[in-house]
């Protein structure tokens, strides 16, 4: 099969064989139990309320690449960005390959050959790069789904220093494609290699012990632990099903419920050489708050070199007791009889190897499952009774299974099991197997089908209401069944979807490490889910999981959290009375089931995109495809996390979701929370996040990216890297839902994440739905509430990816239609079709998942761009279906074009470029002119809708390197033009290929401009009192600064002397955009600026100075109202609604006022967002401990801020 998987339309599939002598063939029966600590990786949030400490790199300095290295890179015709160690961060030849026809017996050998041949680029010797003891091979991951037969590989190497391996940095990935016979093409290299090849400290006798290093790391993040708190330690052990790695020392620490882990590694530093350092993993119990860190502590000095925050939130940051009750008992599973042995090419011609197994009278079914030790071996099962084969099982995958349930029951007697090699093929070593034989009494289920297992869950989400006060309680769940061909093409009665597939290899509720027996609950190989009412790490006091003896996981859904009432509170929803009875309250059984099923669906979908065992996925059993300590890590789902102790007053168990991802082999955790309105923070409906698939898929996306990027131990780190992580999680969610045709309903935008839980049907938890986003790479830090959070900047990456996706859908539309939820989309999502025979959206998803494998931990937007371009070449190059032109066009239109520059992942001010190397770009000269036609020389042009903290693409300033001219790929662009004295102006233009033009931009005079001499002459008290000092910022023609006034906000005002006599006032522009926190603000506004303090409703008044009121300084005389803004509107600050104001709501808006002549204009506050937004008033829920009324419960009711007042005569 050639690269990209061209071949027949559908994947070749061997026919399922079913021999009927009262026989039914069924899929395998498997399951798992996994507890576990968690290690290095990440977590993802939704909104500002719960953002935590960012990653911290305490290593200082940098090493430059040498002239020899730069010359060697030039010899490859490569675009290279250098890392802080002086080696290539990203290496690509945009016009072709870095090298072609590289020889090697496999991808690993060819990758090492390339590195050795180009040692000069890395500043290392060929001998060093060829030495497997110093540059150790870690993994060769084939790109694409398991059935794509791709010849594209990502080969991962790691530096070793004696016995110590580098875990943080010190790695290199080579992306290449080809074969041993045809040679290999190298498309991409990323690295964090150190040019130091020896340790700079004593690793044999480090000054610190493992315990001391862990204590150092814990204390550095505020944990008050002492040596006496460490109760025990164990090392060099492997605990199946507990998510613990055998190369770590496990610590039991008093006060921390989870095991802590630590190991000795090597960490490169730019200035101090390569240091022996302990990797210390802390999972801290903060009651209702999730905290998890991975720190690297110098083994000799005790200094923390690097610390990663492993919690990724869905949102940015925003104690009740219940009666203890017994949870329902897990049913005792039927007794299974294990067997094991060897098989040969002729096993089925021999006497039965396994048995006899006695079957008693009254038996309804016999289940047989066997698992080949080597998953490459294809086995067939035969069930023998009285010397006759009564059932045969062959479902292609291992494990294989039989479900024998003839009408009238199973005849009593002795049964035997044969394990055969498919078509008498000679098995590969080891040719061993394990299995079990299970006889069950007939189950009397509602639809008469004891098999397959069934899960009743929300495919997308419960119904969305017209607004947060009108959510229906209709149960729109569907039943997914693990079906097999025995039931024909359609699922059995009562099933809406057949979820059986090759990616899981067994039903979701089976334990493959316990004789392949069902668990009869929400425990399986891919996931485990349980109630977690008391915190974000463990099941609640009862450890409740719903159980089913018939494996029908179907429980009532009543929308309990939304519909709940409380005799102590007149409201509706969010009542703590729902949390009084564990195992029964708050629809807990349906919630656990829904999260469990959703996690399994994400496992199976992502598996077909390449998130497999070899790519560090989440499974308890890796079926022999990896080292044993790389398994034991299914997704741990904490349901309704912190429900009891995470409400008022901390709210750390509300309005969020997060994912904690650690090293491969350590179980990750996801927390789904309840949602609730919170005063001056977030106004969500009373709903359960366990039901919103867009949120669940978002969090699972964090696990995908943090496992696939930078090998098995690092994940994403850094500002731009984690911003893209939030974006990739959003993209993962919308793509999964799109491919299967699942919609949020209620008129909600299918490209928004979280419309159900937030009540915002168009943008969800973000500022924009990604399908309407105006953002680009020049807008980094555009959202003042997001400058310390990755969520807002992640929307920039989402906008670019959505454009790529759309271009590819258009490109392949005629042959592979891209409508959502079609059979074609579902076949591609299920891995039944090769990617090259799928719509464009599926090809895009393939590209970005394959690109994960090529990227370094500290990846920038531009590094990721190049990884996309390389992944496209590798996956689709040999079948001549590359998409380089479309990728470049989308990246260019979003500011990541050919000339874009970035100083690395933490660069907050990168240089955008809107030019594509594969387009005939337009050359546009900007010419702003004054009302009299004169050219304006002092101006800046920004692409998009934001000026504050954005990077201009053209200007007329002599102090910068920019000119009036900029280059654009063909397309339509929005611009924001700033010129002192002329205010801010929005405009839009479409540029054709090859166009060379001067764009004249007509500006208008801003009479309220400090650049023209306008000045504030009075504020709230008429003399420059409260807020008076900062009033000058209201007229400085930039949204990067703002005015603040304290106290009751109604009536606060700024009066501006327009200077130069009386002027016609025809329209005004007002902005309520905020700015980031400034500790040294000269006017004393050093607080974090809350969205709820922003201006919402206002009046514009005018005055003409007179002898009696010479300077219009008396607000009670001479002022006439010319405009009152509406309480609510479609645009401007009054457009904000639930769940909170966003940056688009607050930015500059235009208002037409009644024409009047005036010498002074006054902006007078009616309300800020807190006091004036209808959805933030009152206390609608039934939680006595929570009053969400913003006007009376939030300090933001006493603060108002506004960024700009601009006054024009036309």
Residue at token pair 């990616």: 503
Give the model confidence (pLDDT) of 425-483 as tens digits.
888 888 888 887 877 664 443 333 346 899 999 999 999 999 999 999 999 999 999 97
Is there a contact between 712 and 669 (Cβ–Cβ < 8 Å)?
Answer: no
Give the model confidence (pLDDT) of 502-512 as tens digits.
899 889 999 88
Quick one: pLDDT band at residue 399, thresholds 50, 70, 90? low
Which stretches of 153-234 are DSSP H helices?
210-220
Cβ neighbors of 379 (< 8 A, separation 6 or more) are: 343, 370, 372, 398, 400, 419, 420, 421, 422, 433
Are 930 and 1053 members of one domain?
no
- For 668-673, what is the mean pLDDT? 94
Residue 786: inside a domain: no
Are 1075 and 993 members of one domain?
no
Phi and psi (nearest 5°) for 1178?
80, 180
**Per residue, what are the HEC states of 403-431?**
EECCCCCCCCEEEEEEEEEHHHCCCCCCC
Distance of alpha carbon 583 from alpha carbon 542, whole angstroms: 8
The pLDDT mean for the chain works out to 88
pLDDT of residue 351: 67
Are 1107 and 1176 members of one domain?
yes
**pLDDT exceeds 80 at position 25:** no
The strand pairing partners of 157, in sequence order, are: 137, 172
Distance of alpha carbon 874 from alpha carbon 97, whole angstroms: 10
Task: Sheet containing 965-968: give its strands across.
Answer: 965-968, 922-929, 996-1002
pLDDT of residue 478: 97
Quick one: pLDDT band at residue 1108, thresholds 50, 70, 90? confident
Q: Indicate the residue among 169, 191, 213 that finishes a domain.
A: 191
Look up residue 732 and give its two tokens: 């993962």
For residue 327, which of 83, 652, 547 has the smallest C-alpha distance?
A: 547
For residue 282, which of 208, 222, 218, 210 has the smallest C-alpha distance?
A: 218
Q: What percent of the chain has pLDDT over 70?
A: 87
Quick one: pLDDT band at residue 1068, thresholds 50, 70, 90? very high
Q: Which among 46-60, 147-161, 531-545, 1108-1122 has the top mean pLDDT?
A: 147-161
For residue 38, which of 706, 719, 858 has the smallest C-alpha distance?
A: 706
**pLDDT exceeds 60 at position 2:** no
Are 1120 and 988 members of one domain?
no
Look up residue 1049 and give its two tokens: 């906000």
Task: Sheet containing 1053-1057: give its strands across.
Answer: 1015-1018, 1053-1057, 1160-1168, 1095-1103, 1120-1124
Q: Are strands 88-92 and 99-102 parallel, antiparallel or unpaired?
A: unpaired
Which stretches of 622-718 are DSSP H helices?
693-708
Distance of alpha carbon 956 from alpha carbon 1152, whole angstroms: 30
Distance of alpha carbon 306 from alpha carbon 54, whole angstroms: 11
pLDDT of residue 396: 53
Distance of alpha carbon 506 from alpha carbon 487, whole angstroms: 17
Give the model confidence (pLDDT) of 333-382 as tens digits.
455 688 888 888 887 766 667 899 999 888 877 878 777 877 778 888 89
Q: Are strands 996-1002 and 922-929 parallel, antiparallel or unpaired?
A: parallel
Distance of alpha carbon 168 from alpha carbon 161, whole angstroms: 13
Are 998 and 1051 members of one domain?
no
pLDDT of residue 1197: 97
Is there a contact between 363 and 440 (Cβ–Cβ < 8 Å)?
Answer: yes
Residue 584: inside a domain: no
CA distances from 968 to 263, 774, 898, 922 (A): 51, 16, 10, 5
Look up residue 239 and give its two tokens: 């605990």
Phi and psi (nearest 5°) for 110?
-65, -40
Look up residue 811 and give its two tokens: 């490109």
For residue 104, which of 147, 153, 150, 159 has the smallest C-alpha distance?
A: 153
Residue 450: inside a domain: no
Are 965 and 1113 members of one domain?
no
The strand pairing partners of 393, in sequence order, are: 381
- For 291-306, what is the mean pLDDT? 92
Q: Please give the span between the terminal C-alpha atoms of the chain, in angstroms, as a whole number.
A: 67
Three-state DSSP class for residue 360: coil
Distance of alpha carbon 956 from alpha carbon 937, whole angstroms: 5
Which residue has better confidence, 55 or 1044?
1044
Distance of alpha carbon 167 from alpha carbon 160, whole angstroms: 9
**pLDDT exceeds 70 at position 1026:** no
- For 1129-1135, what is the mean pLDDT? 94
For residue 235, which of 274, 199, 215, 264 has the smallest C-alpha distance?
A: 264
pLDDT of residue 330: 42
Are 1171 and 1055 members of one domain?
yes
Residue 964: inside a domain: yes
Is there a contact between 521 and 27 (Cβ–Cβ < 8 Å)?
Answer: no
Give the model confidence (pLDDT) of 1138-1147 as tens digits.
999 999 999 9
| CATH number of the domain that residue 956 is part of | 2.60.40.1120
Residue 800: inside a domain: no
| DSSP string for 1149-1190 | EEEEEEEEEESEEEEEEEEEHHHH-GGGSS--SS-TT----H
pLDDT of residue 1106: 84
Are 1093 and 1164 members of one domain?
yes
For residue 369, which of 410, 339, 406, 333 has the smallest C-alpha distance?
A: 339
**Per residue, what are the HEC states of 339-354?**
EEEECCCCHHHCCCCE
Are 975 and 1121 members of one domain?
no
**pLDDT exceeds 90 at position 309:** no
Are 989 and 1016 members of one domain?
no
Burial class of residue 623 (count of CB atoms within 10 Å of its CB; 0-12, 13-18, 19+) = buried
pLDDT of residue 18: 26
Ranges 497-506, 738-747, 1169-1178, 1181-1190: which has the least confidence: 497-506
For residue 372, which of 404, 347, 352 has the smallest C-alpha distance?
A: 347
Residue 91: inside a domain: yes
* Domain extent for 1138: 1010-1208
Which stretches of 753-859 are DSSP H helices?
755-758, 790-812, 823-829, 840-852
Q: What percent of the chain has pLDDT over 90?
A: 70
Residue 887: inside a domain: no
Quick one: pLDDT band at residue 826, thresholds 50, 70, 90? very high
What angle is formed at CA 599 by the lines to CA 598 and CA 603, rounded to 5 degrees?
Answer: 120
pLDDT of residue 515: 67
State whether the Cα torsion 1117-1119-1121-1124 is positive or negative: negative
Cβ neighbors of 624 (< 8 A, separation 6 or more) are: 373, 374, 375
Strand (E) or helix (H) holding 864: helix 861-876
- For 594-599, what is the mean pLDDT? 99
Phi and psi (nearest 5°) for 435?
-165, -175
Q: Indicate the residue among 958, 978, 1002 that finishes a domain.
A: 1002
Distance of alpha carbon 940 from alpha carbon 966, whole angstroms: 12
Residue 162: inside a domain: yes
- For 57-67, what is the mean pLDDT? 95
Are 1014 and 1103 members of one domain?
yes
**pLDDT exceeds 50 at position 10:** no
- For 669-685, what is the mean pLDDT? 96
Strand (E) or helix (H) holding 875: helix 861-876
For residue 304, which of 219, 229, 203, 247 has the smallest C-alpha distance?
A: 219
Read off the DSSP letter of residue 1023: S
Give the model confidence (pLDDT) of 909-933 as tens digits.
999 999 999 999 999 999 999 999 9
| CATH number of the domain that residue 1133 is part of | 2.60.120.260
- For 53-78, what is the mean pLDDT? 94
pLDDT of residue 898: 97
Are 993 and 1022 members of one domain?
no
Q: Indicate the residue among 1002, 1031, 1053 that finishes a domain.
A: 1002
For the chain, the domain total comes to 3
Burial class of residue 544 (count of CB atoms within 10 Å of its CB; 0-12, 13-18, 19+) = buried
For residue 857, which of 290, 193, 315 has the smallest C-alpha distance?
A: 193
Distance of alpha carbon 173 from alpha carbon 187, whole angstroms: 11
């Amino acid at each position: 099969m050639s690269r990209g998987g061209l071949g027949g339309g559908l994947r070749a599939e061997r026919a399922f064989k079913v021999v009927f002598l009262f026989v039914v063939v069924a899929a395998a029966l498997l399951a798992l139990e996994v507890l576990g600590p968690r290690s290095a990786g990440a977590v993802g949030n939704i909104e500002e309320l719960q953002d935590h400490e960012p990653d911290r790199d305490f290593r200082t300095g940098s090493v430059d690449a040498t002239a020899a290295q730069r010359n060697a890179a030039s010899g490859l015709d490569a675009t290279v960005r250098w890392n802080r160690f002086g080696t290539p961060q990203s290496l690509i030849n945009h016009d072709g390959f870095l090298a072609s026809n590289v020889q090697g017996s496999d991808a690993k050998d060819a990758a090492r050959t390339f590195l050795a041949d180009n040692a000069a680029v890395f500043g290392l010797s060929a001998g060093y790069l060829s030495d497997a003891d110093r540059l150790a091979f870690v993994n060769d991951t084939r790109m694409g789904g398991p059935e794509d037969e791709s010849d594209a590989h990502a080969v991962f190497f790691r530096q070793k220093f004696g016995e110590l391996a580098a875990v943080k940095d010190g790695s290199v990935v080579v992306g290449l494609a080809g074969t041993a016979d045809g040679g290999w093409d190298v498309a991409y290299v990323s690295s964090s290699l150190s040019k130091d090849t020896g340790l700079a400290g004593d690793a044999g006798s480090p000054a610190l012990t493992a315990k001391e290093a862990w204590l150092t790391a814990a204390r550095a993040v505020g944990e008050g632990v002492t040596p006496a708190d460490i109760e025990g330690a164990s090392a060099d052990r492997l605990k199946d099903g507990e998510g613990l790695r055998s190369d770590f020392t496990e610590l039991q620490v008093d006060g921390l419920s989870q095991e802590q882990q630590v190991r000795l590694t090597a960490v490169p530093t730019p200035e101090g050489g390569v240091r022996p350092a302990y990797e210390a993993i802390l999972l801290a119990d903060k009651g209702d708050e999730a905290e998890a860190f991975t720190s690297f502590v110098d083994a000799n000095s005790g200094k923390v070199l690097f610390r990663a925050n492993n919690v990724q939130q869905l949102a940015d940051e925003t104690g009740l007791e219940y009666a203890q009750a017994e949870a329902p008992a897990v049913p005792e599973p039927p007794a299974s009889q294990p067997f094991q042995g060897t098989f040969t090419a002729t096993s089925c011609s021999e006497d039965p190897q396994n048995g006899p197994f006695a079957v008693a009278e009254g038996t309804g079914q016999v289940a047989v499952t066997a698992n080949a030790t080597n998953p490459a071996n294809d086995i067939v099962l035969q069930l023998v009774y009285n010397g006759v084969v009564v059932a045969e099982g062959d479902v292609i995958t291992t494990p294989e299974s039989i479900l024998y349930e003839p009408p009238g029951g199973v005849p009593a007697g002795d049964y035997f099991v044969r394990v055969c090699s498919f078509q008498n093929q000679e098995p590969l070593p080891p040719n061993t197997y394990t299995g079990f034989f299970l006889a069950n009494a007939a189950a009397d289920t509602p639809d008469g089908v004891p098999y397959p297992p069934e899960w009743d869950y929300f495919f997308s989400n419960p119904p969305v209401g017209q607004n947060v006060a009108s959510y229906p309680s209709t149960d729109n769940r569907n039943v997914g069944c693990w079906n097999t061909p025995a039931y024909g093409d359609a699922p059995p009665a009562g099933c809406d979807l057949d979820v059986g597939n090759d990616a899981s290899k067994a039903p979701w509720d089976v334990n493959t490490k316990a004789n392949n027996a069902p668990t009869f609950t929400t425990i399986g190989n891919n996931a485990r889910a349980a109630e977690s009412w008391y915190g974000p790490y463990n099941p609640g006091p009862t450890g409740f999981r719903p159980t089913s003896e018939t494996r029908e996981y179907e429980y009532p859904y009543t929308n309990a959290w939304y519909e709940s009432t409380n005799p102590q509170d007149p409201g509706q929803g969010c009542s703590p009375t729902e949390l009084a009875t564990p195992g029964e309250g708050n629809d807990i059984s349906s919630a656990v089931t829904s999260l469990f099923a959703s996690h399994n669906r994400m496992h199976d979908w992502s598996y077909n995109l390449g998130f497999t065992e070899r790519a560090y996925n989440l499974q308890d059993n890796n079926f022999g495809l990896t080292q044993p300590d790389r398994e034991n890590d299914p997704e741990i789902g904490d349901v309704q996390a912190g429900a009891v102790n995470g409400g008022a007053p901390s709210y750390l168990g509300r309005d969020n979701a997060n994912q904690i991802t650690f090293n491969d082999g350590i179980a990750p955790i996801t927390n789904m929370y309840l949602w609730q309105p919170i005063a001056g923070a977030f106004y969500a409906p009373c709903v359960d996040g366990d039901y919103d698939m867009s949120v669940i898929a978002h969090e699972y996306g964090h696990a995908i990216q943090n496992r696939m990027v930078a090998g098995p131990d690092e994940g994403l780190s850094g500002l731009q890297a984690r911003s893209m992580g939030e974006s990739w999680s959003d993209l993962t969610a919308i793509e999964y839902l799109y491919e299967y045709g699942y919609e949020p309903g209620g008129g909600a935008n299918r490209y928004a994440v979280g419309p159900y839980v937030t009540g915002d049907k168009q943008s969800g938890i973000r500022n924009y739905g990604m399908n309407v986003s105006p953002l680009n790479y020049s807008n980094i830090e555009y959202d003042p509430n997001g400058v310390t959070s990755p969520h807002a900047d992640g929307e920039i990456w989402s906008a670019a990816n959505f454009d790529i996706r759309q271009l590819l859908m258009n490109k392949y539309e005629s042959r592979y239609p891209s409508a959502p939820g079609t059979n074609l989309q579902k076949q591609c999502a299920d891995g039944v079709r090769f990617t090259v025979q799928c719509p464009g959206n599926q090809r895009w998803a393939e590209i970005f998942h394959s690109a994960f494998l090529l990227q370094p931990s500290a990846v920038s937007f531009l590094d990721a761009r190049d990884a996309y371009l390389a992944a496209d070449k590798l996956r689709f190059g040999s079948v001549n279906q590359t998409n380089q032109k479309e990728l470049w066009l989308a990246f260019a239109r979003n500011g990541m074009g050919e000339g874009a520059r970035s100083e690395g992942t933490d660069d907050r001010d990168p240089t955008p470029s809107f030019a594509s190397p594969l387009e005939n770009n337009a050359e546009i000269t900007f010419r702003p002119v004054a009302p009299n036609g004169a050219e304006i020389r002092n101006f800046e042009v920004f692409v998009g809708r934001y000026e504050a903290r954005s990077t201009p693409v053209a200007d007329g300033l002599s102090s910068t390197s920019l000119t009036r001219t900029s280059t654009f790929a063909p397309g339509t662009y929005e611009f924001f033009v700033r010129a002192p004295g002329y205010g801010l102006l929005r405009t839009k233009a479409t540029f054709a290929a090859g166009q060379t033009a001067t764009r004249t931009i007509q500006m208008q005079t801003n009479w309220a401009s400090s650049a023209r001499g306008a000045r504030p002459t009075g504020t709230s008290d008429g003399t420059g009192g409260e807020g008076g000092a900062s009033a000058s910022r209201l007229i400085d023609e930039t949204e990067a600064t703002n005015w603040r006034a304290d106290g009751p906000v109604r009536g606060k005002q700024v009066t501006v002397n327009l200077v130069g006599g009386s002027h016609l006032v025809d329209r005004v522009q007002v902005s309520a955009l905020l700015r980031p926190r400034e500790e040294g603000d000269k006017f004393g506004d050093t607080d974090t600026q809350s969205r709820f303090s922003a201006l919402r409703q206002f009046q514009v008044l005018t005055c003409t100075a007179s002898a009696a009121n010479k300077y219009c300084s008396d607000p009670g005389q001479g002022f006439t109202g010319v405009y009152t803004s509406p309480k609510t509107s479609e645009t401007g600050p009054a457009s904000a609604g639930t769940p909170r104001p966003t940056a688009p709501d607050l930015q500059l808006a235009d208002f037409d006022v009644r024409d009047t002549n005036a010498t002074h204009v006054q902006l007078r506050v009616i309300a800020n967002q807190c006091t004036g937004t209808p959805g933030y008033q009152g206390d609608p829920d039934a939680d006595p401990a929570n009053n969400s009324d913003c006007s009376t419960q939030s300090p933001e009711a006493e603060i108002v801020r506004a960024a700009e007042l601009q006054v024009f005569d036309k």
